[in-house]
Amino acid sequence: MDISVVIPTYNRYTLTKRAIESVLTQTLQPKEIIVVDDGSSDNTKQLQSDFPQIMYIYQENKGVSSARNLGIKYAKSEWIAFLDSDDTWHKEKLAKQVAFHQQNQEFLMSYTAERWVRDGKVVKIPKKYQKIGRDIFAENIEYCNIAPSSVLLHKKILQKVGSFDENFPACEDFELWLRIMLEFDIGLINEQLITKYAGHGDQLGFSKGLEGLRIEALKKIVVLCSDVAKRRLMHGIIEDRAKKC
């Protein structure tokens, strides 16, 4: 399995170095690492000389969805792994996902559990974000419970459902995962194989307006969905949140 790693970044030179280093220490190495610099004004361009083995692509600032989509466009491998610039992978992350897919070839996408670190301290993950893996759609319909940095998927999926919606400044991952779940089964490796860090600035996951964007994503997906039970579930969540607004 050849794998291309796509890392979008914006003004996160030091954090991106840490992310790249976590890929380079994998027990199973990917075919390529693609870093898409989304218009940084810091010294992010220095990554080219720090890591001459990576593919560095610069674009004017267009947002994380555009950056990921550009990385996907340049990826030479059939399998794509995403890594956010402020996250890291544990050493056996790719190896364990590859083993999973080799043993379960009906799955074209998988994700893993994660460890959370805030301000340098490991924190307990809230119950609503804990992984179960029984009904992937139901478990991810209210919150984005699939971390982009944990995802490994085959390009066939993106050819079928499309890539990240660049109209979403955040919750773009939530919207894409829902689209994928309408068409494909997703596998869970329920081990903490990535670390998500919080406590630094400019984190999309903590930006304002996320609830409204989740509702917009659900409204978009419910139109695409032909499954009556799933449509009912989405309508219920949309109506419930509308009452709270």
Determine, yes or no, domain membership for 104.
yes
Please indicate, yes or no, if residue 33 is contained in any of the structural domains. Answer: yes
pLDDT at position 215 over 60: yes
Task: Identify whether 240 is part of a domain.
Answer: no
* Residue 147: pLDDT band with limits 50, 70, 90: very high
Residue 51 domain flag: yes
- How far are the Cα atoms of 84, 152, 155, 163 from residue 65, in angstroms, in the given order? 12, 17, 16, 8
Residue 213 falls inside a structural domain: no
Minimum mean pLDDT among 30-44, 136-150, 223-237: which range? 136-150
pLDDT digits (tens, 9 = 90+) for 99-110: 999 999 999 999
Structural domains of the chain, count? 1
Confidence of residue 206 (pLDDT cuts 50, 70, 90): very low
Query: Which range, of 77-91, 122-136, 145-159, averages the lowest pLDDT?
Result: 122-136
Tell me the torsion sign for CA atoms 143, 148, 176, 161: negative
Residue 197 lies in a domain: yes
Confidence (pLDDT) at 245? 56
Task: Please report, for the domain that includes residue 88, its CATH number.
Answer: 3.90.550.10
| pLDDT for 209 | 75
Interior angle at CA 20, CA 15 and CA 26, nearest 5: 135
* Model confidence band, residue 115 (pLDDT cutoffs 50, 70, 90): very high
C-alpha–C-alpha distance, residues 176 and 170, integer Å: 11
95: Cβ–Cβ under 8 A, 6 or more apart, which residues? 26, 27, 28
27-77: pLDDT as tens digits: 999 999 999 999 999 999 999 999 999 999 999 999 999 999 999 999 999
Cα 32 from Cα 74, distance rounded (Å): 10
Q: Does residue 207 register a pLDDT over 70?
A: no
Mean pLDDT of 186-193: 96
15 domain-assigned? yes
User: Which residues span the domain enclosing 92?
Assistant: 3-202
Is 234 part of any domain?
Answer: no
